[in-house]
Amino acid sequence: MESQYQFIPLFPHAENLDMGLADVNALVTQLDKQIADASYSYSLAFEYLAENRYSPNNFKSIRSELNLLFNWIWFVQKISLKQVDRIMMRKFIDFCNDPPEELVAPTSYPYFITDKDTDLVQVNPKWRPFVLRGAGGYIRKTATLKAQLSLLSGFFLFLADVEYAEKNPAAVLLRRLNVNNTRVTESEDGDKALSEVQWQYVTAKVDDLVEEDPNKHQRTKLLFTLLYYLYPRVSEIAARPGFTPLMSNFKKHRSGVWVFSIPQSKGGKSRIIPCPEPVMIALKAYREFLGLSPLPLPDEKIPLFTRHQAGTHGRDAGVLDSQLGIEAIRGIVNDVFDKTANAMEEEWPYEAQELRGFSIHSLRHTGISHAIAQNQPLQTVMKNAGHSDLATLSIYTSVDLR
């Protein structure tokens, strides 16, 4: 039976914006005969994306939301962008909060893949616009919904600037949003941090894995140590278009302290994070297993986390010593969580089941919560985490942060 919903990737990667997608361009030309302003509104979306192309995290988030919106207005509602008012935006949000099962993937897949035989870029047949994260059915958190409306509000502001739209339905809904008028899930502390027991079991499991297969899991040890003590976002330690984290991101500061440098992150900001002793120990152990000097040199071009198997698609197809991407790093963390949950199932069944539903972002929460619990200055934790204000830290702790 043919799917009722045929959502497709409508927008390319940032580096391919100038060329666009030939098949989609042809489709939009056809849609122009049925939907008013289809090609013009699509070109405006391209223009807006072009303005954000040099901020990778922002670009990907905006592209994702625009892709959802344009698929929905064209292929579900069959209306033009100009017809999206507050009521239509509400319908769109309801659709995203409770999407059809056929549009939900069990894990995140890239929009496009490269055929290793022909080098042609094609749509990934496994891609879906929604991703099921954790156990249970698909349900979104309030923070996710707010982020979506905020991103779309920025797009409608742009449309007003170019005199295409007079109103901003996303901003209206964002102002009126509350937990009683939309289907989202609430949590006291967002993506929860691991409990002390869970973290103890995770670290013990990582140590066991290192002992069983050091060639494979010294990398795992460094990854978990880095995520816990430096609490970076996964996008800051994974390969992404235009960025590959290197061993030389570890630098010796003029003060003599070793720091981890993040040259560009959310909002295009950079930062350096002082490295505590456990991070340096894990780094040295990992580098020794790679046959490298204990500490990196300033001009090293060695990827931070190299593959153990050659890539199967994309730019790194057939390349062994390339940097792990976001999904590969998530896979390593989820695998350790699953193995740890199996080990603690008998003695701690509740904690084991909860651990299976955690994500890599839970380690960021764990690290930040640990730093706050250790009475590190909140301004220091805020800067190390890459946050712009102290209020953001309130989701990581129940302590009053005034």
Residue 3 reports pLDDT greater than 70: no
**Mean pLDDT to the nearest integer, 247-271:** 87
Instruction: Give this prediction's pTM.
Output: 0.57
pLDDT score for 57 = 72
213 pLDDT band, cuts 50/70/90, is very high
Residues of the chain with CATH 1.10.443.10: 196-396
Q: What is the pLDDT of residues 216-235, one digit of tens each?
A: 899 999 999 999 999 998 88
pLDDT of residue 241: 67
* pLDDT of residue 264 exceeding 50: yes
The pLDDT value recorded for residue 14 is 81
* pLDDT tens digits for range 38-51: 999 999 998 999 88
Residue 315, pLDDT score = 45
SS3 labels along the chain: CCCCCCCCCCCCCHHHCCCCCHHHHHHHHHHCCCCCCHHHHHHHHHHHHHHCCCCHHHHHHHHHHHHHHHHHHHHHCCCCHHHCCHHHHHHHHHHHHCCCHHHEECCCCCCEEECCCCCCEEECCCCCCEECCCCCCCCCEHHHHHHHHHHHHHHHHHHHHCCCCCCCHHHHHHHHCCCCCCCCECCCCCCCCCCHHHHHHHHHHHHHHHHHCHHHHHHHHHHHHHHHHCCCCHHHCCEECCECCEHHHEEECCCCCEEEEECCCHHHCCEEEECCHHHHHHHHHHHHHCCCCCCCCCCCCCECCECCCCECCHHHECCCCCECEHHHHHHHHHHHHHHHHHHHCCCCHHHHHHHHCCCCHHHHHHHHHHHHHCCCCHHHHHHHHCCCCHHHHHHHCCCCCC
Cα–Cα nearest to 67, from 161, 130, 125: 130
Give me the percent of the chain exceeding a pLDDT of 90: 44
Q: Is the pLDDT of residue 373 over 80?
A: yes
Is the predicted pLDDT of residue 215 greater than 50, yes or no?
Answer: yes
Closest CA to 38 of 54, 25, 56: 25
Average pLDDT over residues 265-287: 88
In this prediction, residue 302 has a pLDDT band, given cuts at 50, 70 and 90, of very high
| Segment among 21-35, 66-80, 261-275 with least mean pLDDT | 261-275
Q: What is the average pLDDT across 16-29? A: 82
Average pLDDT rounded to a whole number, residues 137-162: 87
CATH 1.20.1560.10 is held by the domain 196-396 = no
11 Cβ contact partners less than 8 Å away, ≥ 6 residues apart: 17, 21, 45, 46, 49, 63, 66, 67
How would residue 5 be classed by pLDDT, with cut points 50, 70 and 90? confident
Residues 6+ apart with CB under 8 A from 40: none
Kindly state the average pLDDT of the residues 38-65.
88
**Residue 133 pLDDT more than 80?**
no
When pLDDT is averaged across residues 257-266 and rounded to a whole number, the result is 86
Residue 317 has pLDDT above 50, yes or no: no
Position 400 scores a pLDDT of 43
Which is more confidently placed, 210 or 121? 210
Question: Lowest-pLDDT range, 163-177, 231-245, 276-290, 335-349?
Answer: 231-245
pLDDT band at 142 (very low <50, low <70, confident <90, very high): confident
Tell me what the mean pLDDT of segment 141-156 comes to. 89
> Can you tell me the mean pLDDT for 109-137?
79
Q: Is the pLDDT of residue 137 over 60?
A: yes
**Using one digit for the tens of pLDDT, what is the confidence trace for 342-366?**
999 999 998 998 898 888 888 998 9
